[in-house]
C-alpha cells in the first residue's frame, strides 16, 4: 500500500476544487483526505501506486473550470493504512505557501437557470451563486477562503442550503457565497416599501430616474443611456462634463445594435470576468451622444451578477449607463450609509442590499488594438490574481506603490506578484487612505510581516513616494526609486517575456532622471538598467501643470519656436477663448516664455497630442485624464490619409530627437489652407506615430537589438499603436505590446516590482 502527500498551489479555493478531488479519489479507489492548508490544498491518499498516478493525472485533466494550478508537489512514502474512507476535512489554520486570492466571477449558467425557473426556490434571487461563480475577493476578510472569513458569515445557512453546502456531490459544496431567500442577504429600495425592489427599479429607470445600485465591488449610478436629457442631467449632478460613461446591455445581440463587436471582443464580453470592453460605435447608434461625447467608442459590459440579470428581465431599453458611483477623484462607495449620504442630490433612488463589501473593486476595462488585448484598468474579475515571478524572484518580499495617478500597488511573495485592484489618483486624501488600508489588508491576507524592498516612483513629491519612505523605515528595508518610464518598459518586458529591447514610452507625464518632465522617450531597456536613446524635442510648459488643463498654453509655447511673437499673437487670436483670461493671458504667457519664468521642460507625447487637438478646435480644455488625446483619436478615425506633416529628426545632446514644433506648424498651415480638420488630425497623429517609430528603429540599430515595444498611455490609442507596429515590422524588427497588463499607469507597480526582483 502506497501513501502520498500532495500539495497543490494555485487558484484552488472557492472554485470547487476539494469536491472535485473527493470525486476523483473515490473514482480511483483511494482513501485519505483533502483540506485547505492556508492557501494551498493538501491531499493525502493511500492506495495502489498506479491508482495514485492515475489520480494525479486526472487532477490536471479534470480540474474545475475556474481552477488554475501553478504547482503540484508530491511526496511518496510507505506507511500502514490509516484511513477507512476518503473525506473532506476542515481547513487548517496553519499557513503554507503563497496566498492566491480568488477574483470575482460572473454568475454561471447553472445559477442563471435557477434564477429564471419559477419552480426553483432561488427564483429571482439576486445573490444566487455556487462554487463556479459569484463574488470572491470583494467579500474576503482573511485567508484561507472559508465562509467564516467572509462577509457571508453574517448569514447562517438554512437547513436546505446547509445540506447542499455539506454534500460533496453538490456543486454548492463549500460554496462560501451560497444562500437563498430564506437565509441570505436582502435587496431593498431605500425609503420605499415595495414588494419587488428590482422590478420597481427597472420601472424607475425606464421612467427617466437616476438610481444608485449597490453591486458586488461597489455602487453604480444607472440611468437610461438612450435618453439624452437624463444623461445630461446625470452629468450635471456628478459634475462630469464629458468623461465617458460605461454602459450595460442585456446581451451581445443588443450590443450589436449600437456597437461593432468582433470575435475577440465578444469572447471577452462573455468571459467569466465580464469586463467593460471599449467598442466602436455604429453610425446609427441609438445611445445618447452624451454617454461618450466626442468619441467614436463606447465602453460596454454585460450583466455579471444575479441582480443585473434580474433587472434586465424588466428593463426595456437597449442600454443603461452603469458608471461607478463616486464623485470624480474619490474612491468607489461601498457602505449603504455613504452611498445614501454622498449621492444625495445625484441619485433619485437607491437600490441597496445588506451584504457588506469588504474590498471595493471597480470594473475592469479592456480595449483591443489590432486584435491585441490591453487593460485600461485591471480590476474586478482579474485582480488580485497573481503574475508568475518565480523565474525572477523566489525569496524576496516586495511592495511596489506605483505612481500617483491610476495607482495600483503590487506585492511579491514566494515568486508571485499580486497587483491590487484599481486604487485611483492618490493626490486625494480619501484615495490615499484607501491605498493604505488596502495595502494593510493585502499584507495580512498574504501573511507578509516583513519586507525586503519597498519600490516607488522617482518623483520626490508624489504621496506614494513619501509613503514608500515611511514604509521602508517601518520595515527597515531597502527603498528603491524607479524612474517612471523605466517602470513602464519593465512592465512590458515582463508581459512580453523579453530581457532586452527598445521601448517607446509615450505618455503624459513622468519625472525624468534629469529632473524634467518626460513622456516621449525611446529607452534601451536592459533589466535594472536603461539608457535614454532618443525623445521628442524638449518643449516649455508655461505655468507647469496649467498646460495640462488648458492645452492652448502648450500650443502657444510649441509654436513660439517657429513663429515670431507678432505672428504668434495673430495665430493665437483664433484660440483666445480657450484661455481663461483671453487675449491678455496670451500676451502674459509670451512674456513668461521670453523670460523663462515659471516654465517647466517636457518631452511629453501627451502634451503634443493635446496641442494638436486644441489647434484643430477639437478639445479646448481637459476635464478628465486623456480627454484631448482621446477626442483627437476619434476625429482622426473619420479622417482620410493624404496630407503630409513634417517629421524632422536630428541629433542633440547625444540623442536623436523629433521636432514637434514643425509638426504643429504644419497643422496650423494646413488649417489655414482650409483642409478638413479630421484629415489633418489623421495626418498629425500618423506623423507623430511614425516619428516615434523611426526614433525607435534608429535606437535599435545603435543598440544592436531586434525587438521594439510600446508602453505608456499613448499606446491605448489604436491608430498610433497600429502605425508604430507596421513601421517597426516593415523595418524587420519584432514589435511587442501589452496584452496582460496596462499600457498606462495601472501597471507601473508591476514594473517597479519586476525591477526590484532583478
| Ranges of H-type helices in 315-392 | 336-342
Please count the other Cβ atoms lying within 10 Å of the Cβ belonging to residue 707: 19
Answer yes or no: 36 catalytic. Answer: yes
pLDDT for residue 741: 97
Quickly state the pLDDT bin for 428 (edges 50, 70, 90).
confident
Neighbouring-strand partners of residue 521: 505, 535
Catalytic residue among 36, 39, 326, 336: 36
Give the residue from 741, 633, 651, 616 showing the smallest Cα distance to 689: 633
Fold identical between 2-96 and 99-255+276-360? no
CATH fold of 366-490+745-757 reads Nucleotidyltransferase; domain 5 (3.30.420)
pLDDT for residue 38: 67
Distance CA(369)–CA(181), nearest Å, equals 44
* Tens digits of residue pLDDT in 95-144: 565 557 889 999 999 999 999 999 999 999 999 999 999 999 999 998 77
pLDDT for residue 67: 85
C-beta separation of 321 from 291 below 8 A: yes
Checking if the pLDDT of 581 tops 80, the result is yes
Distance CA(738)–CA(686), nearest Å, equals 20
Spell out where 39-186 has E strands.
40-47, 68-78, 86-88, 92-96
- Burial-class residue 563 by CB neighbours within 10 Å (0-12, 13-18, 19+): middle
DSSP class of residue 626 equals: T
C-beta separation of 121 from 127 below 8 A: no
CA 22 to chain centre: 36
CATH superfamily of 509-526+533-737: ATPase, nucleotide binding domain (3.30.420.40)
Percent of the chain with pLDDT strictly greater than 70? 98
Distance CA(64)–CA(102), nearest Å, equals 14
Checking if the pLDDT of 335 tops 90, the result is yes
Give the residue from 40, 38, 56 showing the smallest Cα distance to 48: 56
**Domain 2-96, CATH class in plain words:** alpha beta
Give the residue from 650, 652, 619 showing the smallest Cα distance to 635: 619
Residues 262-266, mean pLDDT to the nearest whole number: 97
pLDDT for residue 738: 97
Instruction: Report the SS3 class of residue 179.
Output: coil
- Burial-class residue 253 by CB neighbours within 10 Å (0-12, 13-18, 19+): exposed
Checking if the pLDDT of 91 tops 90, the result is no
Checking if the pLDDT of 613 tops 80, the result is yes
Dihedral angle computed from the Cα positions of residues 606, 608, 614 and 620, in that order, rounded to the nearest 10 degrees: 30
Distance CA(451)–CA(610), nearest Å, equals 41
Higher pLDDT, 748 or 88: 748
pLDDT for residue 94: 64
Q: Which CATH number is correct for 99-255+276-360, 3.90.870.50, 3.40.50.2000, 1.20.120.160, 2.30.40.10?
A: 3.90.870.50
pLDDT for residue 95: 58
Distance CA(243)–CA(625), nearest Å, equals 9
3-state DSSP helix/strand/coil percent for the chain, to nearest 5? 35, 25, 40
Q: Which residues contact 685 (CB under 8 A, 6 or more apart)?
A: 609, 612, 632, 633, 636, 717, 719, 720, 723
Give the residue from 547, 481, 543 showing the smallest Cα distance to 509: 547
Higher pLDDT, 96 or 63: 63
Distance CA(460)–CA(191), nearest Å, equals 48
C-beta separation of 432 from 452 below 8 A: no
* Tens digits of residue pLDDT in 448-475: 999 999 999 999 999 999 999 999 999 9
Phi, psi of 29 (to 5 degrees): 55, 45
CA distances from 458 to 4, 106, 484 (A): 50, 39, 7
Find where cell 473527493 sits: 22
| Ranges of H-type helices in 69-206 | 109-116, 159-165, 197-206
Catalytic residue among 18, 235, 369, 677: 18
C-beta separation of 202 from 314 below 8 A: yes
pTM more than 0.75? yes
Spell out where 557-630 has E strands.
599-602
In the chain, what are the domain boundaries?
2-96, 99-255+276-360, 366-490+745-757, 509-526+533-737
Residue 629, sorted as left (phi over 0), alpha (psi -120 to 50) or beta, turns out to be alpha
pLDDT for residue 93: 63
pLDDT for residue 16: 82
Instruction: Report the SS3 class of residue 683.
Output: helix
* Tens digits of residue pLDDT in 290-333: 999 999 999 999 999 999 999 999 999 999 999 998 876 679 99
pLDDT, averaged across the chain: 95
Amino acid at each position: 500500500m502506497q501513501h502520498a502527500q500532495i500539495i497543490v498551489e494555485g487558484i484552488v479555493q472557492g472554485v470547487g476544487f476539494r469536491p472535485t478531488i473527493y470525486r476523483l479519489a473515490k473514482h480511483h479507489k483511494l482513501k485519505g483526505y483533502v483540506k485547505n492548508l492556508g492557501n494551498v490544498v493538501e491531499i493525502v491518499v493511500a492506495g495502489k501506486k498506479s491508482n495514485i498516478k492515475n489520480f494525479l493525472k486526472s487532477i490536471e485533466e479534470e480540474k474545475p473550470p475556474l481552477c488554475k494550478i501553478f504547482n503540484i508537489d508530491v511526496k511518496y512514502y510507505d506507511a500502514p493504512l490509516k484511513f477507512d474512507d476518503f473525506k473532506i476535512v476542515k481547513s487548517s489554520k496553519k499557513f503554507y505557501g503563497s496566498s492566491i486570492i480568488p477574483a470575482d466571477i460572473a454568475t454561471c449558467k447553472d445559477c442563471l437557470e435557477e434564477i429564471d425557473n419559477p419552480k426553483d426556490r432561488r427564483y429571482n434571487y439576486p445573490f444566487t451563486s455556487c462554487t463556479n461563480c459569484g463574488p470572491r475577493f470583494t467579500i474576503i476578510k482573511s485567508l484561507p477562503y472559508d465562509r467564516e472569513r467572509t462577509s457571508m458569515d453574517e448569514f447562517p445557512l438554512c437547513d436546505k442550503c446547509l445540506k447542499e453546502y455539506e454534500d460533496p456531490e453538490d456543486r454548492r459544496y463549500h460554496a462560501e457565497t451560497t444562500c437563498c431567500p430564506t437565509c441570505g442577504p436582502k435587496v431593498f429600495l431605500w425609503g420605499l416599501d415595495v414588494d419587488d425592489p428590482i422590478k420597481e427599479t427597472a420601472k424607475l429607470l425606464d421612467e427617466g430616474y437616476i438610481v444608485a445600485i449597490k453591486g458586488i465591488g461597489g455602487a453604480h449610478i444607472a440611468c437610461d443611456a438612450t435618453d439624452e436629457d437624463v444623461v445630461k442631467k446625470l452629468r450635471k449632478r456628478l459634475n462630469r462634463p464629458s468623461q465617458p460613461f460605461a454602459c450595460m446591455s442585456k446581451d451581445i445581440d443588443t450590443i450589436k445594435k449600437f456597437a461593432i463587436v468582433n470575435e475577440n471582443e465578444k469572447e471577452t464580453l462573455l468571459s467569466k470576468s465580464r469586463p467593460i470592453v471599449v467598442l466602436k460605435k455604429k453610425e446609427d447608434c441609438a445611445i445618447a451622444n452624451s454617454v461618450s461625447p466626442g468619441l467614436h467608442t463606447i465602453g460596454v459590459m454585460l450583466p455579471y451578477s444575479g441582480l443585473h440579470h434580474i433587472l434586465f428581465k424588466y428593463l426595456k431599453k437597449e442600454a443603461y449607463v452603469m458608471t461607478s458611483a463616486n464623485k470624480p477623484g474619490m474612491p468607489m462607495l461601498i457602505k449603504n450609509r455613504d452611498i445614501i449620504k454622498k449621492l444625495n442630490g445625484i441619485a433619485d433612488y437607491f437600490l441597496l442590499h445588506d451584504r457588506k463589501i469588504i474590498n471595493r473593486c471597480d470594473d475592469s476595462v479592456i480595449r483591443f488594438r489590432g486584435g491585441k488585448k490591453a487593460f485600461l484598468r485591471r480590476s474586478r474579475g482579474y485582480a488580485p490574481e497573481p503574475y508568475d515571478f518565480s523565474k525572477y524572484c523566489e525569496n524576496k518580499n516586495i511592495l511596489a506603490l506605483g505612481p500617483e495617478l491610476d495607482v495600483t500597488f503590487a506585492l511579491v511573495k514566494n515568486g508571485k506578484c499580486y497587483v491590487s485592484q484599481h486604487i485611483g489618483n492618490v493626490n486625494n486624501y480619501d484615495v490615499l487612505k484607501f491605498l493604505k488600508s488596502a495595502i494593510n489588508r493585502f499584507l495580512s491576507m498574504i501573511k507578509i510581516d516583513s519586507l525586503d524592498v519597498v519600490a516607488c516612483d522617482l518623483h520626490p513629491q508624489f504621496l506614494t513616494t513619501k509613503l514608500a519612505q515611511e514604509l521602508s523605515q517601518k520595515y527597515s528595508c531597502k527603498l528603491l526609486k524607479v524612474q517612471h518610464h523605466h517602470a513602464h518598459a519593465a512592465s512590458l518586458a515582463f508581459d512580453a517575456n523579453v530581457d532586452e529591447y527598445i521601448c517607446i514610452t509615450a505618455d503624459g507625464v513622468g519625472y525624468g532622471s534629469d529632473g524634467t518632465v518626460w513622456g516621449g522617450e525611446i529607452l534601451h531597456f536592459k533589466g535594472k538598467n536603461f539608457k535614454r536613446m532618443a525623445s521628442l524635442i524638449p518643449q516649455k510648459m508655461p505655468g507647469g501643470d496649467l498646460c495640462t488643463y488648458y492645452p492652448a498654453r502648450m500650443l502657444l509655447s510649441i509654436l513660439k519656436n517657429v513663429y515670431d511673437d507678432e505672428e504668434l499673437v495673430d495665430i493665437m487670436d483664433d484660440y483666445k477663448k480657450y484661455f481663461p483670461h483671453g487675449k491678455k493671458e496670451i500676451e502674459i504667457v509670451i512674456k513668461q516664455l521670453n523670460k523663462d519664468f515659471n516654465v517647466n521642460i517636457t518631452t511629453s507625447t501627451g502634451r503634443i497630442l493635446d496641442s494638436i487637438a486644441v489647434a484643430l478646435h477639437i478639445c479646448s480644455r481637459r476635464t478628465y485624464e486623456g480627454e484631448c488625446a482621446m477626442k483627437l483619436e476619434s476625429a482622426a478615425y473619420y479622417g482620410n490619409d493624404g496630407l503630409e506633416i513634417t517629421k524632422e529628426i536630428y541629433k542633440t545632446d547625444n540623442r536623436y530627437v523629433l521636432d514637434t514644433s514643425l509638426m504643429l506648424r504644419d497643422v496650423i498651415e494646413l488649417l489655414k489652407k482650409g483642409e478638413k480638420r479630421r484629415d489633418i488630425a489623421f495626418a498629425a497623429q500618423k506623423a507623430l506615430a511614425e516619428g516615434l517609430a523611426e526614433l525607435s528603429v534608429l535606437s535599435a540599430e545603435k543598440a544592436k537589438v531586434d525587438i521594439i515595444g510600446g508602453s505608456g498611455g499613448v499606446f491605448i490609442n489604436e491608430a498610433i499603436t497600429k502605425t508604430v507596429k507596421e513601421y517597426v515590422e516593415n523595418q524587420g524588427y519584432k514589435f511587442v505590446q501589452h496584452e496582460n497588463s496596462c499600457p498606462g499607469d495601472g501597471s507601473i507597480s508591476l514594473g517597479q516590482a519586476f525591477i526590484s526582483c532583478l
